[in-house]
A and B are shown apart, each in its own frame.
Chain A
Amino acid sequence: MADAAFLALSVLTIASAIAALELRSLVYGAIALMGTLGGIAGFFLLLDSPFVAMFQIAVYVGSIAVLILFTVMLVRRELIFTKVEDRRRRLAGVGLMLVAMASLGAVIVNSGISGITTDEPAVDFREIGADFLVRYWPALILMGLVLSGAVTGAMVLARREDTEDDQRAG
């Protein structure tokens, strides 16, 4: 059975995920998304993976959420507060969500993984470090290149070429 910390975390995570999508203001939505990402970090702590939890907090809550907040602030104010959506499409979306949740949940509950618990000790984070440097070192180098390439590409994309035009238009 799940314990109280798990139940509280799951309510927090799922509720703030829905809030991130449904709150009228994008700023509050971004803050609610921070709650979801922090809740996932809490799940990682419950799963005895403190290293991944700290990485999640540093990367997601620390940098991605702040990047999203800054982008939201760059957008015009009326776009932040207005929500344009089709009512029928929204109803269909809620139906799709509930059907997918129920069917996937039923499949998982009836599959062989229900009832699995473990008493084995958790994986030590030293093993993760050894994995990174011994087995997966080419992937680590490749990921560093991908990250630097992505950041360079993002900066090239977002660079303003015509500052004067923008000032006249805005």
Chain B
Amino acid sequence: MTNELVDFTLVSVALLCVGIYGLAVKRNALRMLFAVEIVVNAANLNLVAFARFVPDSGGQTLALFSIAVAAAEVAVGLALIIVAYRMYRDIDVAKFGTLRG
């Protein structure tokens, strides 16, 4: 294995920062969901990278759990965006005035 642990960690940091940028700047709810996905994937990459270099199977198991939980999170997030779009006819988070149903 020619790649070092620090290379994978640096890629993970870059993805994390891109995701934070998206969460801080974007006002489109779907783009914010994209940014959350990027952050979650950076975390998964870290888990698997450290699990490879220890080596231990626990990191991969935790990454699998994390992927499954992220799938549930995306399903609920998209349903919430659909509900908000139906209420406000917009997916701009600045226009979501209240949480009232």
On A, residues with C-beta under 8 Å from B are 1-3, 6, 10, 13-14, 17-18, 20-21, 26, 29-30, 33, 36-37, 40, 43-44, 46-49, 51-52, 55-56, 59-60, 63-64, 67-68, 71-72, 74-76, 79, 83-85, 89-90, 92-94, 96-98, 100-101, 104-105, 108-109, 113-124, 127-128, 130-132, 136, 139, 143, 146-147, 150-151, 153-155, 157-158, 160, 166, 169
Please tell me if the beta carbons of B7 and A136 are within 8 angstroms of each other in the complex.
no
- Please state if A104 and B17 are interface contacts (CB–CB under 8 Å): yes
Also in contact, A71 and B1, with CB within 8 A (given A20-B34, A49-B52, A94-B21): no
**Are the C-beta atoms of B25 and A85 separated by less than 8 Å?**
yes
Q: Say whether B9 contacts A108, CB under 8 Å.
A: yes
Interface centre among A64, A72, A76, A114 (most CB of B within 10 A): A64
Give the distance in Å from the alpha carbon of A153 to the alpha carbon of B89 in the complex. 22
Q: Is the CB of A143 within 8 A of B68?
A: yes
The A contact surface, by secondary structure, is helix
Contact indicator A114/B4 (Cβ below 8 Å) = yes
Query: Which residues from chain B contact A124 at a C-beta distance below 8 Å?
Result: 57
Chain B proximity of A125: nearest CB distance (Å): 8
